[in-house]
Amino acid sequence: MPAGPVVLNVAEKPSVAKEASRALSRNQATYSRGAGGTACWDFSHTVQGTTCQMVFTSVAGHLMSTDFKEPFNKWKSCAPLELFHKPIERYVPANKKVLEANLKAEARRAQWLILWLDCDREGEHICFEVMEVCCGVNRNLRVLRAQFSTLLVGELERALATLRPPNKSEADAVDARQEIDLRSGASFTRFLTLSLQQKFDWSSNLGPTSDKPVISYGPCQFPTLGFIVKRQWEIYAHVAERFWYIHVSHRDGTTGQMCDFEWDRKRLFDRFAAELFFEPCKEDGALATVESVGEKPTYKYPPYPLSTIEFAKKASSFLRIGSQDAMKVAEDLYQAGYISYPRTETDRFSPDFDLRALVGNQTAHPQWGGYASRLLDPGSGLWRDPGNGGHDDKAHPPIHPTKFTAGEPGWDVKKKKVYEFVVRHFLACCSDRAVGSESVIRIDVAGEKFTTRGTAVKARNWLDVYPYRSWSQASLPGLREGEQFKPEVSLKSGFTRPPEKLKETDLIAKMEQHGIGTDATMAQHIETTLKRGYATRDNQTMQFSPMPLGEALVFAYKEMGLDVLWQPLLRAETESQVSNIACGQVSKGIVIEDAIGKTQAQFLKALPQLLVLERSIGHFFKRVDGNPGPSEPPTDARDVLRTMCPLCAQRVVLARNSSTDGRLFRCSQHPHCNHKIALPRATVSVTVRPEKCPRCPREAGVSLVDLRFRRSGIPPGFSVMMQGQCLYCSPAIKELFEACQINNSNEAHNTGPVSRARGSGVSRRSGPSSMPPPPTTRAPPQPQHNNGPPKRRQAFQGSRYAGESTRGSTWQDSNASHTFVTATGQSFGLQNHSRQTLRPSSSGRSGGGSGVCYNCGEGGHFASNCPHPKKRRR
């Protein structure tokens, strides 16, 4: 080794130390084992005109941890509130002592220290951790920071030529983040755990939770749970609404294939309106006229190069491997040299990346080798440079295969799947887009417009190597513009559906959108919600559901007015403030003081609400400390009918019927008490007023309610709004209930008094959490999510189709006068006309929606089954 200053080079991980040494030394670096066996690479190199003895070694992520100083790191050393101000220390944990020893040994004999930590905020912080150790044993070290974005030799040489001091502001930003997270996490976690752990029977929380669960809070794990619970509550809150649409189909005379046309109006929530449009379409002689036949090229683009977040999402949705599991497998593959570093934000390849060599490595594979060969063949025209996803962490390339294997004997299924996916994704990235042709046929039937689309795939290209995506083809009938045919027309109906449970890919997307966690930690936060028994993941659908504990905690935070703790905004604010430190705009101390002050304020808000907390948890779990806990379910105040159940003297609460999905008020002791007041299925909203009924003789008085109904679901003549009504004595309510044939006589058997119900294992988990998902609904031809009432429906409210004149009739929603055909082919409708008493509207208008036939103007039937000759109306 030639003489010269000794330069200690430190990277963030061993692989970087090795690769940088190999590149800078032109493969001349020699390996040696430093203190504790840590890898060191020695070579000679010229740095800023001086020939130096380079020693390249590494740490493994953060060298130091942060915790409360003794004795406050012990759980019962102080009140949780005091953790907002108790002293914090940074120290090298036991598992990093070996690395520390190596750094000390090398630093003692070095003159320079060059920091090759990853060029991000955390890397900058690790720089200062390394400096603290190295400068602690050698005060004369000259410390410099290398800034690099790849491990290519040119980039590394450039970094050596542009060495700079490390950035204290960025490191301070990490300091602040660490302190804020530690203080808020530890204080709330100790508070929750110490307050609740011994008081409840947690055995009903099936999952990894022990008898004595740690009930943690964290600024990332809790918003993650919040996303899951919020979606579940949206599902509970969904009220299925019925809609109608005209379905047109045509059988191709040549191929015999059926072709479906979609109505331009999509769907209507007013049956009468839908029927009005439908009638002319189904009349004898109604022909479809082809208005236009169009064709245009269409493309499917290959995915961008693979970043960690996309990898986690795709592993979950394509491979059915959970994100944390997938990351673990990817880490193993990386360690064994089969794929590149799996923690990367980058989704673009740098222009000097030798993509073709990597593709060439794969040509021998029995499954995708042929495709790789074709990709390299210029004659195939298959090659296309990868797209640019717009992200670059300046530290790592996108995830790609680095070593060929046709499969290793020891690999399990997950490892095989992940390696195959990384290779196929990489090959797809380097491939040309898929090309197709989309045909669109628009037709007119009696003034209504319908459209059908078909796709012909011309060149699959990247899809050939990417079985995780498909492109379905659909051919259209050979119709020409102006051509007419007799369509098959039917009026179908369906119900809006609640949103789906969150899939892992949706959850990761939400976390990404709100800045919850980093690409490398999102999977860990998800895993934490599972490990803590807050949520579960279905391994088939990869959908998340809250566990009782998770739902109980979010509910409790909501009850205590601490929504900010489970919603994502707080984290975004912290990140924003921390970024201001990194930019040098504000000092670390100010940000910490501000953030800690705000979190402490939340804590102080929670502290006096221990009873609220316990009562909230008590809705989901049985107490074991002798305290009977609350008996009422977790209902919103506005959902409680302020009266006593006439059978058992308990509260009467708003609920949902599990079989019909209709709403009802029922006794809070259900199913042990059967008192109930069912509401019409068309009930859209229920508001309990603070005022009591002035006439009702009931002892405790009865709250008045405001009810709103769907126009199409209640008999004509009844208003869609009924305000200030008493459900027990209002004549208008009685009349409506009779018209809807709702029997609320409450003669059902009462199984016993309250004390018996309490002592017989009544689950207190009710309210939103006990509501079953809505029943399976019929599939209409377009997306089913209930995105709120369409404008179209609004337009019909208050129109002449909203009948007003047959008050007192026995018209009923379920007595459809029309035969409907569902999407599943089932037909249903009114057979027994005698159950209807329909009268002409008072205005005498024909075609009104108040029980009058659109065709003949008479009552007693609708136009679709009118016995009279057809009349043309418009």
Place of tokens 């999905």: 661
- Tokens found for residue 305: 């190069």
Indicate the residue type of 279: E
Q: In whole angstroms, how close is the CB of 92 to DNA at the nearest point?
A: 10
- Is residue 854 flagged as an active site residue? no
Distances, alpha carbon 149 to alpha carbons 12, 348, 355, 380, 521, in Å: 13, 13, 18, 34, 21
- Tokens found for residue 503: 């899939």
User: Binding to DNA by residue 12, rule CB under 7 A?
Assistant: yes
Question: DSSP secondary structure string, 670-714?
Answer: TTS---EEE--TTEEEEEEEEEEPSS---TT--EEEEEEE-GGGS
User: Binding to DNA by residue 62, rule CB under 7 A?
Assistant: yes
Binding mask 557-596 for DNA (x = CB under 7 A): ----------------------------------------
Q: In whole angstroms, how close is the CB of 518 to DNA at the nearest point?
A: 4
Rounded distance between C-alpha atoms, residue 788 and residue 770, angstroms: 24
Interface pick for DNA out of 28, 32, 48, 73 (rule CB under 7 A): 73
Rounded distance between C-alpha atoms, residue 398 and residue 358, angstroms: 13
Q: In whole angstroms, how close is the CB of 295 to DNA at the nearest point?
A: 48
Closer to DNA by CB, 335 or 743: give it.
335
User: Binding to DNA by residue 520, rule CB under 7 A?
Assistant: yes
Stretch touching DNA by CB under 7 A, among 217-225, 296-304, 678-686, 721-729? 217-225
Q: In whole angstroms, how close is the CB of 193 to DNA at the nearest point?
A: 4
Q: Which residues contact 751 (CB under 8 A, 6 or more apart)?
A: 672, 673, 674, 757
What is the DSSP-derived secondary structure letter of residue 721? E
- Cβ-in-10-Å burial (0-12, 13-18, 19+) of 120 comes to middle
User: Binding to DNA by residue 139, rule CB under 7 A?
Assistant: no
Rounded distance between C-alpha atoms, residue 572 and residue 574, angstroms: 5
Closer to DNA by CB, 534 or 718: give it.
534
Closer to DNA by CB, 61 or 829: give it.
61
Q: In whole angstroms, how close is the CB of 197 to DNA at the nearest point?
A: 5
Q: In whole angstroms, how close is the CB of 48 to DNA at the nearest point?
A: 27
Q: What are phi and psi of 553, to 5 degrees?
A: -65, -45
User: Binding to DNA by residue 340, rule CB under 7 A?
Assistant: no
Closer to DNA by CB, 343 or 374: give it.
343
Q: In whole angstroms, how close is the CB of 522 to DNA at the nearest point?
A: 7
Nearest to 227 by CA among 506, 498, 531, 497: 506
- The SS3 of residue 168 is helix
Rounded distance between C-alpha atoms, residue 549 and residue 504, angstroms: 20
Rounded distance between C-alpha atoms, residue 608 and residue 590, angstroms: 28
User: Binding to DNA by residue 855, rule CB under 7 A?
Assistant: no
User: Binding to DNA by residue 513, rule CB under 7 A?
Assistant: no
Q: In whole angstroms, how close is the CB of 755 to DNA at the nearest point?
A: 34
* Distance from the Cα of residue 30 to its chain's centroid: 49
User: Binding to DNA by residue 216, rule CB under 7 A?
Assistant: yes
- The SS3 of residue 476 is coil
Indicate the residue type of 216: S
Closer to DNA by CB, 393 or 506: give it.
393
Query: What's the length of the chain?
Result: 874
Closer to DNA by CB, 117 or 443: give it.
117
Indicate the residue type of 111: Q
Closer to DNA by CB, 215 or 382: give it.
215
Interface pick for DNA out of 78, 214, 729, 821 (rule CB under 7 A): 214
Q: In whole angstroms, how close is the CB of 327 to DNA at the nearest point?
A: 8
User: Binding to DNA by residue 600, rule CB under 7 A?
Assistant: no
User: Binding to DNA by residue 209, rule CB under 7 A?
Assistant: no
Closer to DNA by CB, 263 or 603: give it.
603
Closer to DNA by CB, 215 or 647: give it.
215
User: Binding to DNA by residue 442, rule CB under 7 A?
Assistant: no
Asked whether 678 and 744 are in contact (CB, 8 A), the reply is: yes
- The SS3 of residue 491 is strand
User: Binding to DNA by residue 207, rule CB under 7 A?
Assistant: no
Q: What are phi and psi of 299, to 5 degrees?
A: -135, 150
Interface pick for DNA out of 3, 37, 49, 76 (rule CB under 7 A): 76
User: Binding to DNA by residue 602, rule CB under 7 A?
Assistant: no
Paired with 258 in beta bridges are 251
Rounded distance between C-alpha atoms, residue 113 and residue 135, angstroms: 9
Residue 759 has a CB neighbour count (10 Å cut-off) of: 10
Residue 104 has a CB neighbour count (10 Å cut-off) of: 15
Whether omega before 671 lies within 30 degrees of 0, making that bond cis, reads: yes
Closer to DNA by CB, 186 or 592: give it.
186
Closer to DNA by CB, 197 or 719: give it.
197
Question: DSSP secondary structure string, 67-89?
Answer: EEPTTTTSTTSS-GGGGGTS-EE
Stretch touching DNA by CB under 7 A, among 146-154, 179-187, 705-713, 732-740? 179-187
Question: How many residues form the binding site for DNA (CB under 7 A)?
Answer: 49
- The SS3 of residue 289 is strand
Q: In whole angstroms, how close is the CB of 126 to DNA at the nearest point?
A: 7
Interface pick for DNA out of 145, 314, 343, 417 (rule CB under 7 A): 343
User: Binding to DNA by residue 307, rule CB under 7 A?
Assistant: no
Q: What are phi and psi of 31, to 5 degrees?
A: -85, 140
Interface pick for DNA out of 75, 301, 471, 828 (rule CB under 7 A): 75
Rounded distance between C-alpha atoms, residue 528 and residue 207, angstroms: 13
User: Binding to DNA by residue 521, rule CB under 7 A?
Assistant: yes
Interface pick for DNA out of 4, 13, 111, 687 (rule CB under 7 A): 13
Burial 37-58 (b: 16+ CB within 10 A, else e): ebbbbbbebebeeeebbbbbbb
User: Binding to DNA by residue 181, rule CB under 7 A?
Assistant: yes
Strands (E), 154-269: 200-201, 242-251, 258-263
Stretch touching DNA by CB under 7 A, among 178-186, 643-651, 685-693, 780-788? 178-186
Place of tokens 């205590």: 560
Question: DSSP secondary structure string, 836-864?
Answer: ------TT--TT-TTTB-TTT--BSS-GG
Interface pick for DNA out of 335, 437, 539, 658 (rule CB under 7 A): 335
- Contacts of DNA in 108-127 (CB under 7 A): 118, 120, 122
- The SS3 of residue 118 is coil
Interface pick for DNA out of 53, 57, 189, 405 (rule CB under 7 A): 189
Rounded distance between C-alpha atoms, residue 620 and residue 553, angstroms: 10
Closer to DNA by CB, 177 or 501: give it.
177
Interface pick for DNA out of 60, 435, 684, 856 (rule CB under 7 A): 60
Interface pick for DNA out of 134, 146, 160, 219 (rule CB under 7 A): 219
Closer to DNA by CB, 521 or 687: give it.
521
User: Binding to DNA by residue 212, rule CB under 7 A?
Assistant: yes
Q: In whole angstroms, how close is the CB of 352 to DNA at the nearest point?
A: 23
Interface pick for DNA out of 38, 102, 193, 567 (rule CB under 7 A): 193
Given 245, 304, 338, 341, which residue is catalytic?
341
Stretch touching DNA by CB under 7 A, among 175-183, 276-284, 427-435, 840-848? 175-183
Number of H helices, E strands in the chain: 22, 28
- Contacts of DNA in 525-564 (CB under 7 A): 525, 528
Residue numbers of the site for DNA (CB under 7 A)?
12-15, 60-62, 65-68, 73, 75-76, 95-96, 118, 120, 122, 177-178, 181-182, 185-186, 189-190, 193-194, 197, 212, 214, 216-222, 331, 335, 343, 517-518, 520-521, 524-525, 528
Catalytic residues: 341
